[in-house]
Amino acid sequence: MTEPLLELEGITKRFPGVTALDNVSLTVRPAEVVALIGENGAGKSTLMKILGGVHQADAGAIRIGGRQVAIRTVADAIALGIGFIHQELNVLDNLDVAGNCFLGREPLWGGPLKLINRARIFSETEKYLERLGLSVSPRTPLKELSLAQQQMVEIAKALSQNARLIIMDEPTSCLTLSETDRLLATVKELRAQGMSVIYISHRLGEVEQCADSVVVLRDGQNAGALKREEISHQNMVRLMVGRDLKDLYVSGAGAQEPDFFRVRGLRTTAYPHCEISFSAARGEILGFAGLVGAGRSEMAQALFGVDKALGGDVALGGKPLAIRSARAAIAAGIYLIPEDRRRTGLITSMTVRENITLPGLPGLASAGLISRRREDELAARQVAALHVKTPSIETRAMNLSGGNQQKVVLAKWLALQPQVLIFDEPTRGIDVGAKAEIYKLMRGLADQGVAIMMISSDMEEVMGVSDRIAVMHEGAITGFLARAEFSEEAIMHLAVGKTAAA
Amino acid sequence: MANERGGISLAPMLAKKELGIFVLLVALCTIVALKSPAFLSSANLQNTARLIGMYGIFSIGLGIVIITGGIELSVGSAFALQGVMLAIMLREWGWHWSLAAPAVVLGSMLIGCLHGVLVAGVRMQAFIVTLCGLLFYRGVARYIANDETKGFGTESFGPLRDLATGNVGGVNGVPMPFVLLLVVAAVMWVVLHRSVYGRYLFAVGRNEDAARYSGINSRLVIASAYVVCGALAGVAGIIIAFYTNSISPAGHGNFYELYGIAAAVLGGCSLSGGEGSIIGIVIGTALLQVLQNLVNLLGIPSSLNFAVMGAVILIGVLADQLLSRRRGAAKGGVGKT
């Protein structure tokens, strides 16, 4: 066996209130593709941030080529030959390809004038683009490239920094199927050239295709490792989840009024030619599965009135609704727990109290003046009811953990009278404990007669929590699955656009 | 009463942010008073109070716009237009004061409404909209007046002149503009810090998207801030016109928008929106006027006037930023996983 390129041993990292990593180890050999998998919040990102110099480990050792190293800054990581391809690309789309590759390390000429040696960066960049088989000119402005091509530019940048190890964090989350194939081919090509890759992905199919070994994290610990011949879908799921899916699912009191929330022919700006029709019953959790970009969030935003719907009829309890603004949706009892809670779910610089009372403020006021007593009471009551862990109701929302922030978003709406609750990726970036609490809350609300729609890209979650699943593909619902029909295969089948009958 | 937190008590009114600038104001007053006893003469105090009142009223309006994350650069030019129009209405057209004064305020609100629609409805940048306003209203004022100075002479126009420039309680009494400022500040304090509308102003200033997702009509709230600013600028415009008594359209109101913005920023408003208080803005206005007074009384060459003011504003805002950064660090950043 060859000498390992990178060894992480006993890495431990604590954040206030949570141990993100507990004694985690990972080994990467030269010319090896190691897949790092685990559920959201398992600690993958934290581990990689330690490797990338963003966080420092509280305990443990990092060895590169057998020599112990300290990675204190991003620059340290780059100098040690570690290249990082982030999930959200780190490119400047106002520069050209070469400008991005050499950003911050431009070769200079002209002495004190410090002019950029453009000829040199173009020829150097050309070399790396060729190595990746990307046929664009280094002079192309980055904004003219597709996301997949921009990602290649990031890889070229890492190569130009003499990286020996490239970390790819969810590299295919925004790519189309053919672009994904192309990226996987690139990964293999890089391996053939002697590079090592740490490949982080939720998509087990990709891992099966490209990984030489798999490391599984669960709740911040090593849950196990798989060698090339052991890599299989089942083995990976078993290690990732470590428990039966049935533990998550709590069966409800049952659905009533199947046509309680009825949507017919809804068209959104993202897919103006596709119509969405479905009904959600009281007491039901209707999951919405699909790939990123299937139009699920756009549907939610149109139903909530923050995006314009191009057409369609919405009826609640048999009464037709005209939803032209979030105010109209809220007045009807339709609330959205949005995907991006820091940007749209909360005003993070305001206090927990101010966030909770914001939508229902007129109800706490007389003659336009807010009653602080009633406001405090409501906020305190909601914090207690949802077990929000916060030092006080006057704490700014930005100082809470992701799970508690999400509970504040929920507290906002539960202070009113919900009829339909739309959850968009409700547990993204939330730790396991808070997740279970949120699932319990959802079920509790359903049992009280609320119709719940849950958009989720997390396969385990959507199968574990929903009573029924609608699968979307490119702006349309390709099929509904009843609980007995749930399987990852059935969902994927519909998510890539094949119809239910096939 | 004791439990009713809606009641007014001094502690929350003078929050951390205002305390610093209040201390600065007191220190500055003490220094000037020690160096030049003339500072405490009734004539000087009266005049300073008059100026604080005049500037304070429109500074509050500017502060409201800044709290929504906007900016209003055109008030100085608008003052010139308002002054010219008021003089023409009263003296050339012979309008009754009770018609002319509301017309000026209404016109100013219309200007605010236009800015509000362009900023919140058409989504133009507030800086651009109001910068164009700054140029446009100045040009219109000069054209209407034929670039000639317009004035009010010695007529009193019913109670209008007294309302704008008089004193409450005799010749040595409290200047009317200062009394008006107290009234405006009290009303706006309740609006901004106690009403639903005030909470909405802060919410859209901090995060317009999240405010919209909470069911707030954020565009209406933003647009309305410009209208409120217009109303207050209209009132201030009349006072300023009578204070100078003659309006030269090329110079009247020059730089006033910057005094207002400076007062708001000194008083704790953040130009990125969502922060600020009425008390802070009033103290900020007072600070600027005392500074002006200091330059005059201490015999500093008046050519240095702007330099002194610029330096003090810079130091004030810098100190505030350093202090709040230290406060933030002391609290301890919570790690995000």
The per-residue DSSP string of A301-351 comes to: HHHHTSS-EEEEEEEETTEEE---SHHHHHHHTEEEE-S-IIIII--TTSB
Q: Do A354 and B199 touch (CB under 8 A)?
A: yes
Cβ neighbours of residue A118 closer than 8 Å, sequence gap 6 or more = A98
Residues 177 to 206 of B: which have CB under 8 A from any A CB?
Answer: 190, 194-197, 199-200, 202-203, 206
* ∠ CA A493-A494-A499, rounded to 5°: 105
- Res. A95: pLDDT tops 70: yes
In a domain, B196, yes or no: yes
CA distance B240 to chain A (A): 32
Q: Do B335 and A46 touch (CB under 8 A)?
A: no
- Res. B130: pLDDT tops 80: yes
CA distance A283 to chain B (A): 24
Residue A135 vs residue A313, higher pLDDT: A313
Q: What are phi and psi of A289, to 5 degrees?
A: -100, 170
Kind plus residue range of the DSSP H or E element containing B185: helix B176-194
| Average pLDDT over every residue of B87-114 | 95
| Average pLDDT over every residue of B140-162 | 92
Q: What is the pLDDT of residues A152-187, one digit of tens each?
A: 898 898 888 888 999 998 888 777 777 888 889 999
In a domain, B214, yes or no: yes
Q: Is A277 helix (H, G, I), strand (E, B) or coil?
A: strand
pLDDT score recorded for residue B2: 38
Evaluate whether the domain defined by A257-333+418-502 bears CATH number 3.40.50.300.
yes
In a domain, B13, yes or no: no
pLDDT score recorded for residue A501: 45
Q: Do B4 and A373 touch (CB under 8 A)?
A: yes
Q: How confident is the model at residue B84 (pLDDT cuts 50, 70, 90)?
A: very high
Q: How confident is the model at residue A245 (pLDDT cuts 50, 70, 90)?
A: very low
Q: Is B36 helix (H, G, I), strand (E, B) or coil?
A: coil
Kind plus residue range of the DSSP H or E element containing A472: strand A468-473
Name the residue range of residue B80's domain.
45-313
- Res. B330: pLDDT tops 60: no
- Res. A83: pLDDT tops 80: yes
CA distances from A107 to A74, A77, A97, A161 (A): 20, 21, 15, 13
Pick from B195, B196, B210: which is nearest to A346 by CB?
B210
- Which two structure tokens, joined as six digits, stand for A133? 């088989």
Q: Are B273 and B103 in contact (CB under 8 A)?
A: no
Q: How many CB atoms lie within 10 A of CB A178?
A: 9
Task: Tell me whether B91 touches chain A (CB under 8 Å).
Answer: no
What's B240-299 look like in SS3? HHHHHCEECCCCCCCCHHHHHHHHHHHCCCCCCCCCCCHHHHHHHHHHHHHHHHHHHHCC
pLDDT score recorded for residue A502: 39
Residue A282 vs residue A112, higher pLDDT: A282
Number of domains in chain B: 1
DSSP state of B91: I
Strand partners, A83: A166
Q: How confident is the model at residue A332 (pLDDT cuts 50, 70, 90)?
A: very high
Cα(B90)–Cα(A290) distance, integer angstroms = 70
Q: What is the pLDDT of residues B192-212, one digit of tens each?
A: 999 999 999 999 999 999 999
DSSP state of B39: G
B-chain residues within 8 Å CB-CB of A377?
none
Q: How confident is the model at residue B108 (pLDDT cuts 50, 70, 90)?
A: very high
CA atoms within 13 A on the CB side of B266: 32
In a domain, B211, yes or no: yes
Pick from B5, B190, B206: which is nearest to A373 by CB?
B5
Task: Tell me whether B335 touches chain A (CB under 8 Å).
Answer: yes
Q: How confident is the model at residue A294 (pLDDT cuts 50, 70, 90)?
A: confident
Which segments within chain B are labelled E, that is strand?
150-151, 167-168, 174-175, 246-247
- Res. A242: pLDDT tops 50: yes
Q: Are B280 and B60 in contact (CB under 8 A)?
A: no
DSSP state of B92: I
Cα(A486)–Cα(B203) distance, integer angstroms = 43
- Which two structure tokens, joined as six digits, stand for A229? 């011949």
pLDDT score recorded for residue A41: 66
Q: Are B86 and B141 in contact (CB under 8 A)?
A: no
Please give the order of strands across the beta sheet that includes A451-455.
A334-337, A420-424, A451-455, A285-290, A468-473, A476-482
CATH class entry, domain A6-244: alpha beta
- Res. A17: pLDDT tops 70: no
Burial per residue of A82-112, b for 16 or more beta-carbon CB atoms within 10 angstroms, e otherwise: bbbbbeebebeeeebbbbbbbeeebeeeeee
Which segment of A259-273, A413-427, B303-317 scores lowest on mean pLDDT? Answer: B303-317
Which of the residues A347, A350, A408, A417 would you substitute to probe the B interface, choosing the one with the greatest number of B C-beta atoms within 10 Å? Answer: A347
Q: How many CB atoms lie within 10 A of CB A283?
A: 22
β pairing state of A18-28 and A115-116: unpaired
β pairing state of A256-268 and A309-316: antiparallel
pLDDT score recorded for residue B327: 62
Q: What are phi and psi of B73, to 5 degrees?
A: -100, -5
- Res. B9: pLDDT tops 80: no
In a domain, B321, yes or no: no
Which segment of A290-299, A371-380, B110-119, B232-241 scores lowest on mean pLDDT? Answer: A290-299
CA atoms within 13 A on the CB side of B143: 6
Of B126, B211, B158, give the one whose Cα is nearest residue A325. B211
Helices (H) and strands (E) in chain A, counts: 16, 24
A-chain residues within 8 Å CB-CB of B334?
16, 399-401
pLDDT score recorded for residue A431: 67
Q: How many CB pairs under 8 A join A and B?
A: 93
Kind plus residue range of the DSSP H or E element containing A265: strand A256-268
Task: Tell me whether A428 touches chain B (CB under 8 Å).
Answer: no
Cβ neighbours of residue A406 closer than 8 Å, sequence gap 6 or more = A337, A341, A345, A426, A427, A430, A434, A438
Token pair 């009372």 is found at A357
Q: What are phi and psi of B99, to 5 degrees?
A: -100, -40
Task: Tell me whether B11 touches chain A (CB under 8 Å).
Answer: no
First to last CA, chain A: 47
CA distance B178 to chain A (A): 26
Dihedral angle sign, alpha carbons of residues A372, A377, A378, A384 = positive
In a domain, B39, yes or no: no
| C-alpha A472: how far from chain center | 18
In a domain, B60, yes or no: yes
**What percentage of chain B exceeds 90 in pLDDT?**
68
Pick from A338, A362, A412: which is nearest to B196 by CB?
A362
* ∠ CA A184-A190-A194, rounded to 5°: 145
- Res. B153: pLDDT tops 90: no
Q: Is A397 exposed, middle or buried (0-12, 13-18, 19+ CB in 10 A)?
A: buried
Which domain CATH number covers B54? Answer: 1.10.3470
Pick from A331, A343, A431: which is nearest to B210 by CB?
A343
Cβ neighbours of residue B151 closer than 8 Å, sequence gap 6 or more = B87, B91, B245, B246, B247
ipTM above 0.90, yes or no: no
- Which two structure tokens, joined as six digits, stand for B209? 């998207």
**Domain boundaries for CATH 3.40.50.300 within chain A:** 6-244, 257-333+418-502
Q: Is A60 exposed, middle or buried (0-12, 13-18, 19+ CB in 10 A)?
A: middle
Which segments within A38-175 are labelled E, that is strand?
59-64, 67-69, 82-85, 108-109, 115-116, 165-169
Q: Do B195 and A16 touch (CB under 8 A)?
A: no
CA distance B187 to chain A (A): 12
Q: Do A306 and B216 touch (CB under 8 A)?
A: no
- Res. A258: pLDDT tops 50: yes
Cα(A19)–Cα(A219) distance, integer angstroms = 9
Which of the residues A369, A389, A395, A410 would you substitute to probe the B interface, choosing the one with the greatest number of B C-beta atoms within 10 Å? Answer: A369
- Res. A2: pLDDT tops 80: no
- Res. A199: pLDDT tops 80: yes
Which of the residues B194, B207, B213 would you substitute to probe the A interface, choosing the one with the greatest number of A C-beta atoms within 10 Å? Answer: B213
- Res. B332: pLDDT tops 70: no
Which segments within A77-154 are labelled E, that is strand?
82-85, 108-109, 115-116
Q: How confident is the model at residue A402 (pLDDT cuts 50, 70, 90)?
A: confident
Task: Tell me whether A395 touches chain B (CB under 8 Å).
Answer: no
Cβ neighbours of residue A95 closer than 8 Å, sequence gap 6 or more = A103, A141, A142
- Res. B334: pLDDT tops 50: no
